[in-house]
Chain A
């Protein structure tokens, strides 16, 4: 296994955030097939907030997860069809439906201090015979040592792999290293470590590489970085870097470049890039998925997106609390009108 990495594409899940969960079924299917042909090891498909994320709070999807997932597994040659589940939003029943549609792997995601709410889901996923990852989101909000203890809870529940998930794109390179190191000390040697980055501080690829060098085996990335905030580690860039490093993988760089530029970039109504707003996410340590919701609230209530994001950070809001964006905007709106 040494010097070989496992590449999981998240374009069709995290990428949903960048286009308000509006992937059409046809383009999603074409992309899944193309990603499979381009050699990624796993393809994650779901609403951006995981199974049953479609809602007022997170945005209604163009399709249901069931519709997005159906008919995909049969068309993949090598890649593992994967999905995401956030306990508190989706349920084991949702996972059963996904499994029946051919999903073979799932990530169970919780905030970085709440791993125990995933024990039931990890155990049930194992019973269903799925490959299971534990996904510790907003990893910058917990110390390396305590994050590793949370990872241990997921390992004990049955996770094959546990992720350092930098949902806010806020971790610096040495902070990623410290967390992966802590995982290695705490977890069994046969438990894999994964890394999921956001590019808000332009560190998506760099953080993925330092995690790999410290022992992370599963690396998340998406075409043209298509994901929440400034996006994820851009897949084609990551592969180019891995090529130059001589790290073994199964991906075809030029095919991925073409998909990124020809298909994905034109879909981005709001460019996925590091700019004033997305940089503020990383800088203030705010959940990347808040971006478009905060931009909408800023427009509606005549406020600055950056101010809303920073205030959300001050209030220590965690992933999933999108309703609090409107709450913050209303408070700020009242204050502006009062002053």
Chain B
């Protein structure tokens, strides 16, 4: 079978990492165009050196290129604002699918091991955030065995792995991730926190997931989480449970007060992850980059296989 042609818009950290991943690892996808807006950007120059067709005039340049007709899937790794513009241009081509890696979230959220199979009919799907890709599978792993009232995630990433887009709009991270913790993770209420740590050498991405659920047999949660870690590791080999899962009963006499939920009690579960990157564009510490691009890549591959 011929590889399906794709384009990547956005030549920053995420776009470039995705490009390298597809070139090196995909049996089903081939990059027909790599699109940026700055011909001097490291990403575009690197793509050119790798022999990939580059376009430095954004989505408009992409649509006017001769490869456009053959391109089936477009990855958008720009910014939320740029995605709105790009989507306006692309949506009239109804046979093409767009995978949105920005926080714009026009289309439904996709977290591959949770809901990939349900969304093949969508033309625009959104990859939430790096922290969301790392943590929502864990929230879901708990919520599929115990009703989750509240889930909270803390994503700690190396400062060097946070590009200018992330830095300019960090609220988009917290808000988008929190929403997806609820709608995809299955928590009644979600909260997300992101911390940038500038330590040298840079620290590998860490994620902590807290859930407050109904009280169930802890082994059910442990088994469900372990299974989900294995599912994620299929496409992100550096994803691992870093500590044993910690449990604590919040009893009715000493409840916690959660905004919009009131006094709550139940089983507190704490899951600590480490996400080591594959070291494609940025070094291993940038697990945040890796999980995002790996999720986007597997989403595209699944879309191809479904057709």
Q: Are A120 and B198 in contact (CB under 8 A)?
A: no
Q: With A57-B208, A60-B257, A114-B198 in contact, is A326–B246 under 8 Å at CB?
A: yes
Q: With A317-B197, A321-B195, A323-B208 in contact, is A116–B167 under 8 Å at CB?
A: yes
Per DSSP, chain A at the interface is loop
Number of interface residues, chain A, beta carbon within 8 A: 37
Can you list 24 A-B pairs, Cβ within 8 angstroms, ordered by A?
A: A52-B191, A57-B154, A57-B210, A61-B257, A88-B174, A91-B174, A91-B175, A93-B175, A111-B196, A114-B167, A116-B168, A117-B196, A120-B170, A120-B171, A315-B199, A317-B197, A321-B195, A323-B154, A323-B272, A324-B206, A327-B206, A327-B242, A327-B272, A331-B243
Q: Are A327 and B243 in contact (CB under 8 A)?
A: yes
CA gap between A324 and B208 in the complex, in Å = 9
Instruction: Choose from B167, B191, B198, B244 the contact partner of A55 (Cβ within 8 Å).
Output: B191
Closest to B201 in A: A316
Q: Are B156 and A321 in contact (CB under 8 A)?
A: yes
Contact residue range for chain B?
A: 35 or more
Pick from A323, A326, A331 the residue with the most CB of B within 10 Å. A323
Which residues of chain B have C-beta atoms less than 8 A from A321's C-beta? Answer: 154, 156, 195, 197
B268 at the interface (CB under 8 A from A): yes
Beyond known contacts A92-B171, A111-B197: 14 more, CB 8 A cutoff? A56-B152, A57-B152, A57-B154, A57-B210, A60-B257, A61-B257, A88-B170, A88-B173, A88-B174, A117-B167, A316-B197, A316-B199, A323-B154, A327-B206
Closest to B171 in A: A91
Instruction: Rank and list the top 8 A-B pairs by shortest CB-CB distance, nearest first.
Output: A316-B199, A323-B208, A56-B210, A60-B256, A91-B171, A113-B198, A320-B195, A88-B194
In the assembled complex, how far is the CB of residue A122 from the closest CB belonging to chain B, in whole angstroms? 12
Q: Are A88 and B208 in contact (CB under 8 A)?
A: no
In the assembled complex, how far is the CB of residue B181 from the closest CB belonging to chain A, in whole angstroms? 13
A28 at the interface (CB under 8 A from B): no
A158 at the interface (CB under 8 A from B): no
- A-contact 0/1 string along B255-268, CB 8 Å cutoff: 01111000000001
Closest to A88 in B: B194
In the assembled complex, how far is the CB of residue B182 from the closest CB belonging to chain A, in whole angstroms? 16
A145 at the interface (CB under 8 A from B): no
Q: Are A57 and B199 in contact (CB under 8 A)?
A: no
Q: Are A87 and B197 in contact (CB under 8 A)?
A: no
CA gap between A321 and B154 in the complex, in Å = 8
Q: Are A330 and B244 in contact (CB under 8 A)?
A: yes
| Number of residue pairs A-B, CB distance < 8 angstroms | 108
Which residues of chain A have C-beta atoms less than 8 A from B268's C-beta? Answer: 56
**Residues 50 to 79 of chain B near chain A (Cβ within 8 Å):** none
B226 at the interface (CB under 8 A from A): no
Q: Are A320 and B171 in contact (CB under 8 A)?
A: no
B270 at the interface (CB under 8 A from A): yes
In the assembled complex, how far is the CB of residue A185 from the closest CB belonging to chain B, in whole angstroms? 23
Closest to B173 in A: A88
B159 at the interface (CB under 8 A from A): yes
Which residues of chain B have C-beta atoms less than 8 A from A62's C-beta? Answer: 257
A64 at the interface (CB under 8 A from B): yes
**Residues 136 to 187 of chain B near chain A (Cβ within 8 Å):** 152, 154, 156, 159, 162, 164, 167-171, 173-175
Which residues of chain B have C-beta atoms less than 8 A from A318's C-beta? Answer: 195-199
Which residues of chain B have C-beta atoms less than 8 A from A114's C-beta? Answer: 159, 167, 196, 198
Q: Are B243 and A88 in contact (CB under 8 A)?
A: no
A119 at the interface (CB under 8 A from B): yes
CA gap between A286 and B61 in the complex, in Å = 51
A63 at the interface (CB under 8 A from B): yes
Closest to B156 in A: A321
Pick from A52, A62, A88 the residue with the most CB of B within 10 Å. A88
